[in-house]
Structure 1
């Protein structure tokens, strides 16, 4: 059976996009970029402001933003930058209900020789709660000459452990800079 290359690419793109667990929202655009920005400053780094409860995560996010902006060809200039970057966070602990399957493997276990699993005896409704954290990285790009907002990008993700939280936030910072780059190229 021969499949067209566009169908295969579409399926691969859908699989890759469905694996992405970080959503981006572009908000508050007061001005259109009127020039090519060449330098930037991260306000949080300059004033020592921590946006996350964990200092290590905060330092990793600051570093990721700085490295990715430098990779775009901008220089870090704390004296007179063309672009000011400020970020905040929202770390919201939450819980969700998880429904366990009483009949694993074979649907209603009709053909299972061990029809009654002793782990599930007497349990009709098997619901557990799972704790997770809803993470928001909110990055403002400000034009200091006009004192107006170029744009605000919010990255939203979920994490269930400290290790995944750090990874998700670093990946969120990377996606925010990619969104900034595509915004600048489209105008």
Structure 2
């Protein structure tokens, strides 16, 4: 089993990465044979989508359509195609995923999906290019807003879930909102992060 961990914070070693590492510890406990790879988006050069639509219009490519940009996203496409499970962690900035995380999500949309889906009367919605099924977990961290007020702060979790489902055929097995970590600390959520890691490989 291949597990890919995406760290969407520009800061290393802080709450988001600490909780992602706890989730990966849960993965290793539940599936010692799993091959794990962690990607720090803050250490990668991944440009924003140029909206050229070359990948979207390539309907035949499997498991993904190549992107015209050649940056650090290029080798990640093979990692994403190979993975069986994915853990995505990001802080919330202004209630949304970080700009690093958003660039990554934009770049996987039409590379791993094609516009052949339909929702009600709307045609051209993304559907995965392959039938490979994956599991996913989402970790979202807020420095100030506590879990009780999550609905006012967390636009990131539903966006990540939808994008991973539409592009990579991921079934999200759970999410963790670690709120008010500046006051509470990340350790308060460590056990929940470990359980999430175990769930993604169960």
Larger radius of gyration: 1
With normalisation by structure 2, the TM-score equals 0.37
Q: TM-score, normalised by structure 1?
A: 0.39
